[in-house]
């Protein structure tokens, strides 16, 4: 009897193994991927690791968009693309800008032997804004100013819906760079200078994009980028080197990636352009394998940044040639190549020569296939395109609410909110242009964007409004037009000057900010300062609207204008939100996610500096920053009690509680911040570090109690022994509504 049972069991086992098929949708994605790998040739596996830029996306200035899939362009090297796809030698595309193209590319992939669908990615950094007709939310620096992570989850979910409905299943976001140098053009694309703020914003965005349980069948794949430490490149220039101690790497740059991986389960990571301590990230095995996978437990795949593997040779002068660069990147842990020819051949040859074990290819291709199965691409390879956004709520309303919460009032001598002005003069190159959308956005239809001038017209219907908007071009601000502005200003009751930077990626108007638009100074570009001074010379009250993707140095403005509203790049509804604040319909509540320096000479200028940073002062200027991290005014006054540390039961550290009251006169939002400092430890510590924050809303006269539990994570430091611990000693807990000492009250905690 036993023998019969054994035989039956064995048969059942053999049948079940034989029956397992990667087409079986009941199997987990990882198992389906392993089964499919077994049927693939080496070439087909390496093909999954190859990403190309979609033919219709031709970076500005590199020729006209392709008319068909087979077109080639010397600059992009995408020769015989259609045949490569049919041979299964392409696994992914990026920047597919039209649903028609996404469909055409996927149909080509269906002609390949195994019909493996393509994974199409795009930089949906603040909405799917590289596609016309999609919702353009405020840029990340503006969203960070809300200190409202929940908003990011909503925006992530809405963005995922708008992407999938256009055949796009992977975004190269969130950007988790910690931006600590405003000369760097990409500050506007980040969530600012603080690791906790960046971590919380990034984590929530990934939850929105991928779903909290990473249910990719109804969401999209996110990408934590750029690993690592590109946010304070030498000289402020994008991709420049980075030297960083392990302590600083672990305390400042790694936390956002740890949160993205361990708490949000991000499915992909993108390596950074720069080197870290002499080894370029794209060839850095310690970074991509030992740290990312072995220590942090990352279970997805790593994509290179644009042509950065070739740059191991051409830019870093680290690999002797591009073939060696390709091979080293695979050995280090890069799983997918963005973008172009020659990578495929080099990797296949390296496996055939025994330099790269095929197991490494199986690991890379297997992860990529697993994500494709999880996204449901095998069941629905050719996207069902919807041109009207369906079903995830009112995206425009989210964009407007996000814009409202992200506006930062830096100065107000009482002129705001404006009380029914009769004659307004709205002036400046950013007053009526789509630079309000920021970087990573294509021009949207004018009907979809509310500029500042349009918003003001709507909010002040009975005022007479004169404008001078320079056609949206900073270079049109010159001596002649400034004279006109000066004249017009004298006829107004109040002047609204809308100045700043231009981050428009596709604008012929002269970009000054955004990716690869780094600057060696932080002043208002062009003759905008002269424009501001001329308008102020009229003697009329001036409200400055700063529209920018970096922390500009605006010391003169702070001393000479009546009010300053830093709007960053508030997206498609920005003009409405700004006008609502000017009219008092919205009470501003945004807080700075970065320090604003007085001048570029102060850089590096961050809030969590070490005690020895200012042991000396500058000889001929003020050493402190212009506006501090976490700072932002309201039309209401909020008062904060002294923080009280309530002892914990058991071995916790206790809970700090603060009473906050809105003394009016308006209902309004406020951001309660908790900083912690430890003066004496085995390593020098920052004067303070943000360890918790909570956005609250209080009606006029209302009060509430905010409590923060003090945790190990808040107190620990990466000490002299090269390990994390909570070192004994006295800790100061500081609470308030900015990082400035004058806005904080404190209590102490002693750790035995």
**Residues known to be catalytic:** 305
Structure tokens, 700: 């006029």
Nearer Cβ to ligand GLC (123/518): 123
Which segments of 375-499 does DSSP mark as H helices, in order?
A: 395-406, 452-459, 479-489
Residues 664 and 637: beta-carbon distance below 8 Å? yes
Beta bridge partners of 422: none
Q: Give least dist CB 225 to ligand GLC, A.
A: 6
Can residue 518 be called a binding residue for ligand GLC (CB under 6 A)? Answer: no
3-state class (DSSP) for residue 242: strand
Please list every residue from 85 through 104 that binds ligand GLC, using CB under 6 A.
94
Can residue 311 be called a binding residue for ligand GLC (CB under 6 A)? Answer: no
Sign of CA dihedral 72, 74, 79, 82: negative
Give counts: helices (H), strands (E), the chain.
22, 26
Q: Give least dist CB 189 to ligand GLC, A.
A: 8
Structure tokens, 334: 């890069």
List the one residue out of 344, 347, 345 whose CA is nearest residue 355.
347
Q: Give least dist CB 306 to ligand GLC, A.
A: 4
Measured distance between the N- and C-terminal CA atoms of the chain, rounded to whole angstroms: 69
Q: Give least dist CB 722 to ligand GLC, A.
A: 31
Nearer Cβ to ligand GLC (50/482): 50
Q: Give least dist CB 309 to ligand GLC, A.
A: 12
What residue number has its CB nearest to ligand GLC?
172
Tokens 């039956």, residue located:
8
Find all residues with CB under 8 Å of 111, minimum gap 6, and list them: 85, 86
Can residue 306 be called a binding residue for ligand GLC (CB under 6 A)? Answer: yes
What's the rounded Cα separation, in Å, for the pair 299 and 266? 9
Residue of 22, 172, 640, 718 interacting with ligand GLC (CB under 6 A): 172
Find all residues with CB under 8 Å of 359, minimum gap 6, and list them: none
Q: Give least dist CB 494 to ligand GLC, A.
A: 40
Site string for ligand GLC, 368-397 (x = CB under 6 A): ------------------------------
User: Could you give the strand order of the β-sheet that contains 301-303, starting from the edge strand earlier in sequence?
Assistant: 223-227, 268-271, 301-303
Which segments of 538-676 does DSSP mark as H helices, in order?
A: 555-560, 574-583
Nearer Cβ to ligand GLC (94/594): 94
Find all residues with CB under 8 Å of 70, minimum gap 6, and list them: 80, 81, 82
List the one residue out of 356, 184, 200, 343 whose CA is nearest residue 274.
184
What's the rounded Cα separation, in Å, for the pair 347 and 344? 5
Can residue 305 be called a binding residue for ligand GLC (CB under 6 A)? Answer: yes
Site string for ligand GLC, 655-694 (x = CB under 6 A): ----------------------------------------
Beta bridge partners of 395: none
Residues 241 and 274: beta-carbon distance below 8 Å? yes
Residues 47 and 91: beta-carbon distance below 8 Å? yes
Q: Give least dist CB 173 to ligand GLC, A.
A: 8
Q: Give least dist CB 339 to ligand GLC, A.
A: 9
3-state class (DSSP) for residue 3: helix
Nearer Cβ to ligand GLC (305/580): 305
Q: Give least dist CB 337 to ligand GLC, A.
A: 13
Residues 134 and 169: beta-carbon distance below 8 Å? no
Q: Give least dist CB 353 to ligand GLC, A.
A: 31
Q: Give least dist CB 271 to ligand GLC, A.
A: 10
Q: Phi, psi at residue 583, to the nearest 5°?
A: -90, -5
Nearer Cβ to ligand GLC (306/460): 306
Torsion from C-alpha of 72, 51, 236, 204, nearest 10 degrees: 140
Please list every residue from 116 through 145 that binds ligand GLC, using CB under 6 A.
123
Nearer Cβ to ligand GLC (94/578): 94
Nearer Cβ to ligand GLC (169/172): 172
Site string for ligand GLC, 213-232 (x = CB under 6 A): ------------x-------
What's the rounded Cα separation, in Å, for the pair 53 and 306? 9
Can residue 275 be called a binding residue for ligand GLC (CB under 6 A)? Answer: no
Structure tokens, 663: 């003394």
Size of the site for ligand GLC (CB under 6 A): 6
List the one residue out of 512, 500, 558, 561 whose CA is nearest residue 534.
561
Report long-range pairs for 378-383 (Cβ below 8 Å, ≥24 apart). 378/23, 378/32, 378/116, 378/117, 379/25, 381/106, 381/109, 381/110, 381/115, 381/117, 381/118, 382/103, 382/106, 382/107, 382/110, 383/99, 383/102, 383/103, 383/106, 383/164, 383/166, 383/167
Q: Which residues in this chain contact ligand GLC in the complex, by CB under 6 A? A: 94, 123, 172, 225, 305-306
């Amino acid at each position: 009897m036993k023998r019969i049972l054994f035989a039956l069991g064995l048969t059942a086992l053999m049948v079940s193994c034989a029956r397992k098929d990667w087409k079986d949708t009941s199997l987990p994605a990882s198992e389906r991927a392993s089964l499919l790998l077994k049927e693939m040739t080496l070439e087909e596996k390496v093909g999954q690791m190859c990403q190309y830029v979609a033919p219709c996306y031709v970076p500005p200035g590199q020729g006209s968009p392709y008319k068909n899939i087979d077109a080639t362009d010397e600059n992009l090297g995408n020769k015989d693309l259609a045949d490569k796809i049919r041979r299964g030698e392409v696994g992914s595309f990026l920047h597919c800008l039209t649903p028609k193209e996404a469909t055409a590319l996927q149909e080509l992939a269906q002609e390949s032997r195994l019909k493996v669908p393509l994974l199409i990615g795009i930089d949906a950094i603040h909405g799917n804004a590289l596609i016309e007709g999609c919702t353009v939310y405020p840029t990340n620096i503006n969203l960070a100013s809300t200190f409202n992570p929940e908003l990011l989850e909503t925006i992530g979910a809405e963005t995922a819906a708008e992407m999938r409905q256009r055949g796009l299943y992977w975004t190269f976001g969130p950007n988790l760079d910690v931006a600590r140098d405003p000369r760097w053009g990409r500050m506007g694309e980040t969530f600012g200078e603080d690791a906790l703020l960046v971590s919380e914003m990034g984590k929530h965005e990934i939850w929105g994009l991928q779903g909290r349980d990473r249910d990719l069948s109804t969401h999209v794949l996110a990408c934590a980028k750029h690993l690592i430490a590109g946010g304070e490149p030498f000289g402020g220039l994008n991709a420049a080197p980075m030297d960083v101690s392990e302590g600083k790497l672990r305390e400042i740059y790694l936390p956002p990636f740890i949160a993205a991986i361990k708490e949000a389960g991000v499915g992909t990571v993108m390596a950074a352009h720069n080197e870290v301590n002499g080894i370029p990230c794209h060839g850095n095995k310690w970074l991509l394998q030992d740290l990312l996978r072995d220590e942090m437990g990352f279970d997805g795949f790593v994509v290179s940044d644009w042509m950065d593997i070739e740059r191991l040779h051409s830019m870093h002068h680290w690999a002797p040639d591009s073939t060696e660069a390709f091979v080293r990147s695979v050995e280090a842990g890069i799983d997918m190549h963005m973008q172009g020819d020659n990578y495929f051949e080099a990797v296949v040859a390296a496996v055939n020569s025994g330099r790269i074990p095929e197991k490494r290819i199986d690991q890379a291709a297997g992860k990529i296939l697993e994500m494709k199965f999880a996204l449901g691409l095998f069941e629905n390879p050719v996207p069902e395109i919807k041109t009207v956004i369906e079903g995830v709520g009112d995206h425009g309303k989210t964009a407007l609410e996000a814009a409202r919460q992200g506006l930062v009032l830096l100065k107000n001598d009482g002129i705001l909110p404006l009380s029914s002005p009769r004659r307004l003069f709205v002036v400046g190159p950013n007053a009526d242009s789509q630079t309000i959308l920021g970087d990573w956005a294509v021009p949207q239809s004018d009907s979809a964007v509310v500029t500042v001038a349009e918003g003001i017209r709507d909010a002040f219907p009975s005022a007479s409004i004169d404008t001078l908007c320079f056609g949206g071009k900073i270079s049109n601000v010159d001596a002649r037009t400034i004279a006109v502005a000066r004249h017009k200003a004298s006829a107004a009751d109040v002047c609204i000057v809308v100045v700043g930077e231009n981050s428009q990626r596709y604008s012929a108007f002269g970009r000054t900010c955004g990716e690869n638009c780094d600057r060696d100074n932080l002043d208002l570009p062009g003759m905008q300062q002269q424009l501001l001074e001329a308008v102020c010379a009229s003697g009329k009250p001036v409200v400055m609207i700063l529209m920018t993707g970096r922390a500009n140095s605006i010391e003169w403005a702070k001393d000479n204008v009546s009010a300053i509203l830093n709007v960053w790049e508030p997206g498609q509804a920005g003009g409405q939100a700004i006008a609502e604040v000017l009219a008092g319909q919205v009470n501003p509540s945004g807080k700075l996610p970065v320090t604003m320096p007085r001048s570029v000479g102060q850089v590096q200028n961050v809030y969590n500096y070490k005690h020895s940073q200012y042991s000396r002062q500058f000889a001929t200027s003020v050493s402190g920053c212009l506006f501090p991290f976490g700072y932002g005014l309201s039309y209401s006054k909020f008062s904060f009690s002294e923080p009280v540390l309530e002892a914990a039961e058991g071995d916790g550290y206790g809970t700090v509680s603060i009473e906050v009251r809105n003394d009016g006169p308006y209902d309004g939002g406020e951001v309660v911040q908790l900083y912690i400092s430890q003066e004496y430890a085995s390593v020098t510590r920052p004067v303070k570090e943000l360890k918790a924050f909570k956005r609250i809303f209080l009606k006029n006269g209302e009060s509430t109690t905010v409590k923060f539990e003090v945790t190990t994570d808040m107190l620990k430091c990466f000490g002299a022994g090269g390990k994390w611990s909570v070192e004994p000693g006295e800790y100061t807990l500081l609470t308030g509504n900015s990082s400035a000492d004058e806005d904080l009250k404190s209590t102490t905690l002693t750790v035995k």
